[in-house]
Every structure is written in structure tokens, then in C-alpha cells.
A and B are shown apart, each in its own frame.
Chain A
């Protein structure tokens, strides 16, 4: 048994008491009342940088379109200090669209981070598990079988996503849900639902089929305030709930036994967070259609930036919003307004990323 001397400790870079934490790169804020908060410096920097990036991109995006508006005028209009025409375009037409994009991106990023943490697998994201396909099935049923209104399609997509999430949970449940079983069951469910979607399209007439295909690419076109509010309320309720359970989630990544021994009610935390993740994903998909690969890539990119082992929930959320807004900006700038749905851009970028991920995972011997 080696007990290290004081000097050896200092030499080896172990911090002296009271200076900073054992986890490198974190700072602790303590109050005299015994409260203490722990902050990861690098992760916080990443979050602030992403927020700045996404807000800048949002302002540029609002200024982009058939009537280009300079960034300064956009800001003026947002605070109610612009001319009437610009204020109408900014606040009534373009702001809700950008807000939907921000909320959808954040929800997908958070939902993806939760799923990847619960399955302990970067492939365990809603795109791969078939949640988006489930939402699509719900939407297609409304479009093809009932020729439903936009509102009914949204409800259909929500119900489809939730039902698929429930089905995956029940099928994968065997004394707890985890790891590869969740991924494999999800891939199976995804294949079945995709087949159902194909069948529904073949049954559709031309008008419905065209509408279905537009919905299936995922787009922010024509989104208004009526889509913003439900999404916003969902985030207001779910995000704090999720973050309050983040510490428990972080421990479950060390295995059920360890986290259980540390006093985490593993199954409860996991069920709660899975429900939240399904709601976030289904809600986002109902609002914008199945925007591909944001949920898959955002948590992984966030993780590589923060270099932190935890689930990186806040950073994933900001990254999701940034990715979606950036993709929408790219699609509008490169191909003219409303030409290319945002889902096409995220799909292309995400597909390349997925290939890269598969190759590196294979090299690391994990698949």
C-alpha cells in the first residue's frame, strides 16, 4: 500500500484543498450557506459560443428572403423600432419560422442526447430507432386516409411518434431497457413502420402523395406563431425536468449496478427521461416534419467540443438549434428562398457524418 507524501502529491499535480476540483476544467461556486454549484468551464464556453452563433445566424436568417433586410434593421424591427413593413415581415412572417427552427433543433438535440445516453450508444438516436418514421406514419394516415387539415396532420404525427416510442420501450423492456437491445429493437420497428409508410403512399392519390412527400422531407416553410406556442410550452415544462435528472442520468452511464449502488433509482430516471425524449422528438417532428440526423449528430458534435464524458444535455440542445438554423440558412442562401426544405440539407450532412461515425466506431472495434 502506497500512501503518497505531501510533496509527491503536489508534484503530481493533485490540487491542494480549496483551490479547485479533482475533475480538471471545473470550477465550484460556493455560498456561505453551504450551497455549492459545479461548473464545467469548457462546456460553459461551448454553450455561450453556440448561443452567440445561433443568435447571429437567426438574425441573418430573418433578414434573408425575397425582401432582404439588413441585420441592423432586423434588430430594430424585433424590438419594435423599425418601419411598419419591415416589422410585419420580421415579426409575423419570419420570426415564428426561425423560432420554430430554434425550438425544433433544441428539442431534437436534447432528445437525441437523452436517447444516446440511455442506450449508451451514439447510434441509439431517434433517427435510427424509428421515432421519426413513427411520426411520419401518423402524419401519412391523416393525409392519405382522412385528407386531414394541417392541425390534424400535426396531431397525427404526435400520436404516431408517441405510439412508436411506447412500442419500442415495451419491446425492449427486459428487466430494464438498455444498450444494444434498444438499438436493435428500434431498427426493427423502424423497418416495419417504413414499410407501412411506403404502403400508405402507394394508396394515396396524386395531390395527397405530393403533400405527403413534402411533409416527409422536413421543412420550416410556412411555419407561424400557432406552431411556436405548443413547442415553447413543451420545452418550458420538459427542459427543467430533464436537467433536474441529468446528474442521475450521468451516473447510469457507469452501468446499472454502480448507479443503483450510488442511490440512483435507475429504472425511474430512465423511464422519466425516455418519456421526455419521446415527447421532445415527437413534438419537434410534428412541428417541422422528420428533419433528419439533427438528433444523431448534435450530441456527438457537442461532446467533441466540450470533451466532457457526461450526456452534455445543454450543449447538445444548443448544438441542435445551431445545426438546424445553419442548415435552413444554407438551404435558403444556396438555392433561393423556400426552394430546398431544410430536411434535405440536414439529411445530406448527417448522412456523411453517420458514415464517418460508422467507420471510426468500426476502427475502434465497437461494432
Chain B
């Protein structure tokens, strides 16, 4: 029995149904990555897993209990989320922002323990933002800011961490930086990570478990080396491609077919 799973959930915003009867298991101690084309429901699934969205049918289970029925702070001590949109309040420093991740461990009479202080320092060190502690968040670059938000989620000290498109808007170097950090958190600290990623090659390289979604349905799941094939990519993304071995890591590498090759196929099919 895994700690986090969705059982036959129907996910909808008002009347717009995104997914029906969807079931997903997040293997414990995995770095699970959810991939799929735009509007396939991957962020919606992540929102449901992190109780931001209540399923209209079915249930999300965390440690065997329905996640909505659990006390908010208890969930927040088990499961952290790095959402796509977050606002840094005007004039807040990095140290203060990261410190706010300790909220679920605090109370009215226990506002800032030595434990809080230690965890915040460690979170900033492991994300490499300790030297920025006194700086204002609005002065930082996009890559630094994303690290600060990850540090805040780390300070929450949750065994499960969900990340919604953590590499969006970052340049290639910072994308790899953030993914390396995720891999480290997974390997060295033994956390279970679930991330939504756009880049299939990044997903194949970093994930230990891949979930491919299309139209609100799971098309395939498993280790990237087992499931990423040219057929799967065409089925999920509608893109003709070759899948070769990544020369660096040996993981699957998706190379889209050249434009001319693709148009030739379309022309041949048409005739």
C-alpha cells in the first residue's frame, strides 16, 4: 500500500470535466514525473493529489485516510506542494520567506523553536540560497527565486513533495539545476517526489517512475526505460519521433522526426 494514491477520481472545474475514473498510485520513495500534452489534466491531477481540488467523485488517499477529512496542518506536515503561482509579499527577505514553511509545525505559543531555526538553515543550505538569506526576494533572478520557494517547501519537512512545473520560465542551466536538486532530495534524503514536467527528455532522464497522461487517462506508467518508445510518444503527444539512448545517461531520448519526414508521411497517408 503506497502512501499517496487517487482512486477512481473524477476531476472537474465547475462543469468542465478534466478526467473521469482516474486511478493513480504514487510509488513510495519514487521520483514520479507526470507528463502529457497541454490540457491533458496533469496539473489538475497534481492539484487533486495535493487536496487543492476536491474530486467530484472518487477519493485521494494519504496514509490510508481520505485527504480532505484530515486536519489541514497534519496534511501539511506530510505532503508539501510547490505550486505554479505563488506571490512573494513586497519587502520580504529570503530567510523570512523560507521560515514561513515552518507554519504547520508551529502554534500560537510555539512560534519559533530552535528546531525551526535549524531546519530553515539546512533548507537554505541544501538549495544553495543560504548566502541570500538577508536579501529581498523581489531582487532575485528567476532561478534563485525558484530555489527559495523550493527551500520553503523543504522547510516544511514533508516526506512527500509535489512540484507543479518547477522548471517553467527557467533557462536550460537553471532547469537542470532545479532537477538536479530534486534528484538529490530524492536520492539523499529519501523523499517521495511527484513533479509535472513539460520536457519529456528531462522526465525520462530524472524520473524513476513515469506517468503518461492524455485526455485525462493514464496511457502508460512505469520506469522510463521500460515505457518510453516511439509508439508511446506518438500515441500520447501525436508526434512522430525516434527514441534513442541518451549518450550521457543511457535513458530514452526523444528526437522528433524532421519536418520533411513528417510532411511526407502525412502526404502519403492522404493519398
Chain A residues packing against B (C-beta within 8 Å): 1-4, 8-9, 12-14, 17-18, 21-24, 26, 28, 30, 34-38, 120, 244, 247, 250-251, 253-255, 257-258, 260-265, 307-310
Contact = CB atoms under 8 A, between A and B. Distances in A.
Nearest to B47: A257
Contact of B114 (A24, A30, A35, A250): A30
Which 3 pairs of residues, A with B, have the shortest CB-CB distance?
Answer: A263-B76, A22-B95, A257-B83
B130 A264 contact: no
B269 interface: no
23 contacts: A1-B180, A9-B130, A13-B133, A14-B121, A14-B130, A14-B131, A21-B112, A22-B96, A22-B98, A22-B99, A22-B117, A22-B120, A23-B96, A24-B95, A34-B110, A36-B109, A120-B87, A258-B83, A263-B73, A263-B74, A263-B103, A263-B104, A307-B91
Contacts of A258: 81, 83, 86-87, 152
Given A17-B117, A261-B81, 16 more contacts: A13-B134, A21-B99, A22-B95, A22-B98, A23-B95, A23-B99, A35-B110, A37-B112, A253-B87, A255-B86, A260-B52, A261-B83, A261-B153, A262-B156, A307-B91, A309-B96
B177 to A, nearest CB: 8
Contacts of B93: 22-24
Interface of B: 50-52, 72-77, 80-81, 83-93, 95-101, 103-104, 106, 108-114, 117-118, 120-121, 124-126, 128, 130-131, 133-134, 152-153, 156, 177, 180-181, 184
A247 B112 CA distance: 12
A262 B125 contact: no
A4 B121 CA distance: 11
Contacts of A3: 125-126, 128
Contact of A4 (B77, B87, B131): B131
B97 to A, nearest CB: 8
Contacts of B84: 257
Contacts of B113: 30, 34, 36
B72 A263 contact: yes
Contact of B130 (A4, A37, A257, A262): A4
A310 to B, nearest CB: 8
B81 A257 contact: yes
Contacts of B73: 263
Nearest to A13: B134
Q: Is the interface of A mostly helix, strand, loop or mixed?
A: loop
B103 A251 contact: yes
Given A4-B130, A28-B112, A258-B83, A247 B103 contact: yes
A309 B133 contact: no
Contacts, number: 143
Residue from A3, A21, A257 with most neighbouring chain B CB atoms (10 Å): A257
A21 B133 CA distance: 10
Contacts of B81: 257-258, 261
A22 B155 CA distance: 13
A264 B104 CA distance: 8
Contacts of A21: 95, 99, 112, 117
B114 A17 contact: yes
Contacts of A35: 109-110
Nearest to B137: A309
A263 B73 CA distance: 4
B22 to A, nearest CB: 21
A22 B133 contact: yes
A9 to B, nearest CB: 6
A64 to B, nearest CB: 38
Nearest to B90: A309
Given A255-B85, A260-B52, A263-B72, A1 B181 contact: yes
Contacts of A307: 91
B13 to A, nearest CB: 9
Question: Which of A26, A262, A265 counts the most B-chain CB atoms under 10 A from its CB?
Answer: A262
A13 B120 CA distance: 15
A119 B104 CA distance: 24
Residue of B126, B130, B156, B181 with most chain A CB atoms under a 10 A cut-off: B130
A75 B85 CA distance: 55
Contact of A255 (B87, B114, B134): B87
Contacts of B100: 250-251, 254, 262
B109 A37 contact: yes
Nearest to A260: B52
B4 to A, nearest CB: 14
Nearest to A253: B89
Nearest to A35: B109
A307 B90 CA distance: 10
